[in-house]
Amino acid sequence: MYEIRFHGRGGQGAVVASTVLASAFFKEKKFVQAFPNFGAERRGAPVVAFTRVSDFEIRERFGIYEPDCLIVLDSSLTRRKGIVQGLKEGHWIIINSDKKPEDYVFLGPYRVATLDANTIAQEHGLGSSSVPIVNTTIIGAFSRATGMVAIGSIMDAVRENVPTHPEDNAKAAREAYEKVVF
Amino acid sequence: MKKVISANQAVSYAVVAAKAQVIAAYPITPQSSIVEMLAGFCATGALQAKFINVESEHSAMAACISASVMGARTFTATSSQGLALMHELLHYASGLRLPIVMANVNRALASPFNLKADLSDSLSQRDTGWLQFYCESGQEVFDTIIQSYRISEKLLLPVMVNLEGFILSHTYEIVDLPEQSQVDLFLPPAPARECLDVDNPCMFGSTTDYYINFRYKMHQDMEEAKTFCSEIDAEFKKVFGRDYGLVSTYLCEDADLILVTAGTIAGTCRVVADRCRARGMKVGVLRIRMVRPFPGKQICEPLRKAKKVAVIDRDFSPGCGGIFAQEVKASLQGINCGLPVYEFIAGLGGKDVTDKDIELIIEQTHNMPNRGESTWIGLLK
């Protein structure tokens, strides 16, 4: 079982990211489950979503408390108390940030990968300049840093599941795959 | 074709596959995405159905009743307060013997206000004459909607398909969406029935001294439903390769302790049962899928050989306890086996029911010599 927790802000697309990533794993014959942290959604408010991946049928029907990976869509969330709660030591944190991974050593004994997803998403016309939609971009970086799922599967899942500008989203994921720093 | 979709999407695809002709529904969290998707399908013509916008759930059910009386295959979906608002008309739908199918996304009833999963909304409608199913996966939701049209159109009783809010409705997982030709093979157009005919006017549901006889007929048909639903399930398996039973059992044959529950909690129970087995503790799981009619015989049979039973209810009848626990105890009374039933209330208002919670329930059931009052899991300190 491999469990991922997404941290984003309402409007960035964290929930969709969790489902698209699940679809990418499904393309590689994995069993998957993706779900949001249930509640009322508000633009700009912190949002949490989850993806579960397994070689076997997933029967677990409860939350994820000890994830194997964090994907953070807004770097300001790294300053929030409890952001790394439950994350297993030595595991990956993928952060949308223009800083270097070393700038995040304060988070603890984890492996950090960073990429400037805001710029990449904007260059591909995803979202607005105030709220770039970085969800498809950042999962490209996840693919490269963790090696858990192929970028081709990510791009196919993006093309199939993103309703608007699927090709631009897929290209943004590819660029993130190439530019991620870790 | 297999796709990663949410259970609410599975509901919508199933309604399209079933070729519903009239849909009347009012949006409510966490059901809204069903209504949005179906309204979209009706607008684009992907589903050739009349979508009736209504101002309330009461009106939604009134519209479904009217359409069904005219012979249309109808569908609605709701949740929580919306279902409560429908209550009066639920009796009309079953009393008029109308084959309406509804998806109810289980959500806690206010007050206090809560958007999350709780089975009390549909269980408080269990005496309205609707058949009730409780699902545990997106696949089962899709399949049960398809099955429900066959069931309701044969028995002339409405069917409610329940799925837990968010835990199922908003969870994306792999669902196999069958070819339309396969669905058509299993679910042909509805058989002819007595309908309102404007050229030959008659009255539906008039005043009569035969009221008691109508109720008796409903009782007989509900009894028949247990057999018929099993037959439909077997036929479904022949076409699609999947079946569910009225109840589903896991490792119950030699179990000393059996966990009884409904909905998604069952999946987590099976994970924990496997862990217990690895430690030499014989734990089994029985999931109740159909609640009306209540399959007492099918529930008692696997429980008969166990030493203890723990019923986990994500629902609650104030002043009485867990609703499944009461039903199970009443059924066991019939076979007079003296099996102790331990009662647990868990997960109300969407409270997460974790593997650790289930381990605690097993431990308590194992260690308690006598069953006491119901135990509440997950109360905040």
Query: pLDDT tens digits for B275-301?
Result: 999 999 999 999 999 999 999 999 999
Q: Are strands B131-134 and B74-78 parallel, antiparallel or unpaired?
A: unpaired
Smallest Cβ distance to A22: which of B4, B271, B353?
A: B4
Cβ-Cβ contacts under 8 Å, B354 against chain A: 62-63, 65
Q: What is the pLDDT of residue B168?
A: 98
Query: Quick one: what percent of chain B has pLDDT higher than 90?
Result: 94
Nearest-neighbour CA in chain A from B268: distance (Å): 5
pLDDT (mean) for B68-73: 97
Cβ-Cβ contacts under 8 Å, B352 against chain A: 62-63
pLDDT band at B203, cuts 50/70/90?
confident
pLDDT band at B334, cuts 50/70/90?
confident
Rounded distance between C-alpha atoms, residue A74 and residue A56, angstroms: 32
Rounded distance between C-alpha atoms, residue A95 and residue A74, angstroms: 7
What's the total number of domains in chain A? 1
pLDDT (mean) for B111-132: 97
Report helix, strand or coil for B313: strand
Give the domain range for residue A94.
2-179
Cβ-Cβ contacts under 8 Å, B177 against chain A: none
Q: Do B171 and A34 touch (CB under 8 A)?
A: yes
Chain B residues at the A interface, defined by Cβ less than 8 Å, are: 2, 4, 6, 29-30, 115-116, 136, 165-167, 170-174, 264-265, 267-268, 270-271, 350, 352-355
Q: Is the pTM of this model over 0.90?
A: yes
Q: What is the CATH number of the domain that holds A26?
A: 3.40.920.10
Q: What is the mean pLDDT of chain B?
A: 96
Q: Do B352 and A36 touch (CB under 8 A)?
A: no
Nearest-neighbour CA in chain B from A30: distance (Å): 10
Q: Do A63 and B352 touch (CB under 8 A)?
A: yes
pLDDT band at B173, cuts 50/70/90?
very high
Q: Do B264 and A65 touch (CB under 8 A)?
A: no
Nearest-neighbour CA in chain B from A137: distance (Å): 20
Is the model more confident about B251 or about B337? Answer: B251
Closest chain A residue to B2, measured at CA? A26
Q: Do A19 and B4 touch (CB under 8 A)?
A: yes
Residue B179, φ and ψ in degrees, nearest 5 = -65, 145
Q: Which two tokens stand for residue B249?
A: 């059992």
pLDDT band at B336, cuts 50/70/90?
confident
Nearest-neighbour CA in chain A from B354: distance (Å): 5
What ipTM was estimated for this complex?
0.96
Rounded distance between C-alpha atoms, residue B35 and residue B51, angstroms: 10
Q: What is the pLDDT of residue A39?
A: 62
Q: What is the pLDDT of residue B207?
A: 82
Q: Which domains does chain B have, with CATH numbers?
A: 2-179+214-240 (3.40.50.970), 249-376 (3.40.50.920)
Q: Do B268 and A59 touch (CB under 8 A)?
A: yes
Rounded alpha-carbon distances, angstroms, from residue B102 to B57, B139, B147, B268: 12, 17, 12, 27
Is it the case that residue B52 has pLDDT exceeding 70?
yes
Positions in chain A whose pLDDT score sits under 70: 38-41
Chain pair A-B, CB pairs under 8 angstroms = 67
Smallest Cβ distance to A61: which of B2, B165, B268?
A: B268
Q: Which residues contact B299 (CB under 8 A, 6 or more apart)?
A: B247, B260, B286, B288, B328, B331
